[in-house]
Structure 1
């Protein structure tokens, strides 16, 4: 069956290559539709960027535009239907990145990611041996895929272990901030000399495996190092924990700096493990993990969009050393 699928797909690819010249100007043709769709997206959607500036989050955003398109075996025209590899190819193509047409070939591009725990939004998840299905990871154990006949392009759980995970592009640091995207890229303790509660950040960071500079930067942005701060939404203390969140973290007094920092460190450690991304962990700290999972990246909330680079900038100001 896999051989037949690949044969049909390759025949369609050849037909497109040689037949495209004849139909390119025809009204309603696949070529015309794709050109118009791409042009419209480029003009109206900030997520449509050049290959040199695209991120994994952009890939997810591009793929989301095809939600609801019916699965069609061998389909490459979103007006009629797409199969799994066509969805992947088109999402990347919308960002100016060319990928092979066949799932088995797409499963060889980019660089290998060791496990789903290290996967980031935009990575390719390939299934079965030989590979006959492929999807785009969106984070939080979810992926976007064109599943099978009778279904539409949709978001679903990663229902089985991928045989390979491939990273085609790497997320760039936020503009103007020398910030690492991946938690494993964090290096150095920074300079917390003179920073209020530096000892608490250092102790909690060591205990939970979270950089002390990250904790200090979060405290700086959240409360300005004020242990008595209360936000209009009811967040409390140095780390601005909501009462319900604090309770879940075992923090009985959010106004107690030691408890607050320890709770925030525990929370950030969990978020870093889940999202394997400093910006996504910060976004989840601000807006909640559910919002990050729902949007497959930093949620489109003005507060959260501003919060993430603020914390990263605060980390840089504390002397944090990182590699992109």
Structure 2
């Protein structure tokens, strides 16, 4: 049985994707460097759900099998490792590669730009080279809604011009799209880019608004509300993201070059989002209203018509249901 490589497997989306893929009968190898951009305990706990204890997951360059989940293995490795990554590819004969490994975060890119170049540019170039050299049928990779910057036209369409990114993170994701297109054009393997729109849900990243607001309310801290709350986000529950990704992974004849928005296509005002969290937490929050942060965009809204047309994508979890599911998990994990 040929296997699927999922990079960023200890991350939020990567963990959920690996879990669903093995449930659906795929052989999956997860890869992650488990960096300390945020608490590594959360990453190790995600891997523990996949049967990989910390004692095994913490060792670099060692492929280990899950203790209790058939068809899942994990390796701790950097995608910018030009010595060991090619060995993994040559040994495993992957059929498809899903590249979710990246240095995430808009605001952090102002503080540590080199982390974004190393992972998102150098690392992605390594993935493309190895897909070319190992006859990978299909590369699916993570882009971001951040590439739209302060696009005035709504909803955001993949046909829109995205030549004015307002953060280095967004610039690296735009670069990934260009790099993937070039490799597909030159070397004739299929590439599919996914522009994710504000994904949230259980096991979510602690640097995202969903966690920051919930955790502050739970611990009676003031929450920082940027741009005085005048922001809108196309919040998308993780199950809808994974549902869409599975549709693409299962495609036996994908297009050579494709790019999709993947989101809920239903933007929510930031203050309404906070109110929904407060309702589920059973208490009001103290708010500290602040100016807009450098690199932040005012609104996001995904036009998902092309994903609907090509893959019958249809998000089904609204904000009320999604926030409720997240808060339930948060209380079980953190409290």
**Above 0.5 in TM-score?**
no
The structure with more radius of gyration: 1
Give the structure with the higher percent strand: 2
TM category, shorter: under 0.3
